């Protein structure tokens, strides 16, 4: 199957999931996770109408943004952060999905051309969950991160473990949605929920995802490391 065919299949599944959840499809953005795949693959997805793309590796994002500077698209940085890599991310990203540390927020803000919208990564599960701020600390952290000039905290993100039955991931999504609700009650502007990947995005939609991050189902299996210009 071509990238365009796979993308259409994912768009259809997303529309179905929205319909079943009684949600407006316009509320749920599809981030096509293009990490490790070359810029030509991104051009194919762009030609099929995809505009949001997610990258995990800072230099790979920078290299692709330079290579694709002739087209209009939205870059989402969905990987872990390091202060010394902020310079590769901040000039290009329209969202950063996995912010955790104030020092990373400061590094991003100092390199961003304008206010940068970020989501805070939450450790929604047990040890198997990758990264994220513990749930009992996350709202305080959101307040602290929101104090950084140039950083706007707009939501929460989770990266749960892969579980064979996607329904088993539901508690993670539910926990994230509830935390955002608690945050809104405290005056935080947590309107965005980044949750759900190829395997489980249909479940995440049911729990209120506003960004689903889908790689494999669109671009195929990943081989090797980051793409390099």
Ligand X SMILES: *Cc1c(COP(=O)(O)O)cnc(C)c1O
Our CB check for ligand X shows the closer of 183 and 215 to be: 215
Is position 9 an interface residue for ligand X (rule: CB under 6 A)? no
Window 75-104: residues binding ligand X (CB under 6 A) = 78
Q: Of the listed pieces 4-12, 101-109, 174-182, 208-216, which binds ligand X according to CB under 6 A?
A: 208-216
List of residues 6+ apart from 52 with CB closer than 8 A? 29, 30, 31, 32, 73, 74, 76, 211
Shortest Cβ distance from residue 82 to ligand X (Å)? 15
Helix (H) or strand (E) holding 120: strand 116-121
Q: Which is nearer to ligand X, 186 or 220 (CB)?
A: 220
Using the rule CB under 6 A, is 197 a contact of ligand X? yes
* 10 lines the binding site for ligand X (CB under 6 A): no
The CA-CA-CA angle for residues 149, 190, 146, to 5°, reads 15
Q: DSSP 3-state assignment of 157? A: strand
Q: Is 214 in the site for ligand X (CB under 6 A)?
A: yes
Instruction: Write down the least CB distance from residue 168 to ligand X, Å.
Output: 16
Least distance from C-beta 169 to ligand X, angstroms? Answer: 12
Nearest CB to ligand X, comparing residues 162 and 185: 162
Helix (H) or strand (E) run with residue 175 in it: helix 170-185
CB closer to ligand X, 108 vs 197: 197
| CB of 22 vs ligand X, minimal distance in Å | 24
Cα gap 91→139, rounded to integer Å: 27
Closest distance between ligand X and the C-beta of residue 162, in Å?
Answer: 8
**Cα separation, 107 vs 82, whole angstroms:** 9
How many binding residues for ligand X (CB under 6 A)?
13
Please identify which residue in 34, 44, 56, 124 interacts with ligand X, judged by CB under 6 A: 56
> 157 Cβ partners below 8 Å, 6+ apart?
78, 97, 98, 119, 120, 121, 122, 132, 176, 193, 194, 195, 211
The C-alpha atoms of residue 62 and residue 121 are separated, in whole angstroms, by 22
Beta carbons of 156 and 179 less than 8 angstroms apart:
yes
- List of residues contacting ligand X (CB under 6 A): 33, 35, 56, 78, 159, 197-199, 213-217
């Amino acid at each position: 199957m071509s990238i365009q065919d796979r993308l259409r299949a994912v768009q259809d599944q997303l529309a179905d999931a929205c319909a079943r959840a009684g949600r407006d499809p316009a509320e749920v953005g599809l981030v096509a996770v293009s990490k490790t795949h070359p810029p030509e693959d991104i051009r194919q997805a762009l030609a099929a109408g995809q505009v949001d793309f997610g990258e995990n590796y800072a230099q790979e994002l920078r290299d692709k943004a330079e290579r694709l500077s002739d087209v209009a698209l939205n870059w989402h940085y969905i990987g872990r952060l390091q202060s010394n890599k902020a310079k590769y991310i901040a000039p290009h990203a329209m969202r950063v999905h996995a912010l955790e540390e104030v020092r990373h927020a400061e590094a991003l803000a100092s390199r961003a051309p304008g206010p940068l919208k970020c989501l805070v990564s939450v450790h929604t599960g047990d040890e198997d969950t990758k990264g994220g701020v513990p749930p009992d600390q996350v709202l305080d952290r959101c307040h602290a991160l929101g104090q950084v000039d140039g950083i706007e905290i707009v939501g929460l993100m989770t990266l749960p473990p892969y579980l064979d039955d996607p329904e088993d991931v539901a508690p993670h999504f539910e926990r994230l949605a509830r935390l955002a609700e608690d945050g809104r009650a405290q005056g935080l502007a947590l309107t965005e929920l980044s949750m759900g990947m190829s395997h489980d995005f249909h479940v995440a939609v049911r729990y209120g995802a506003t960004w689903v991050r889908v790689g494999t189902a669109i671009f195929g299996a990943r081989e090797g490391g980051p793409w390099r210009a």
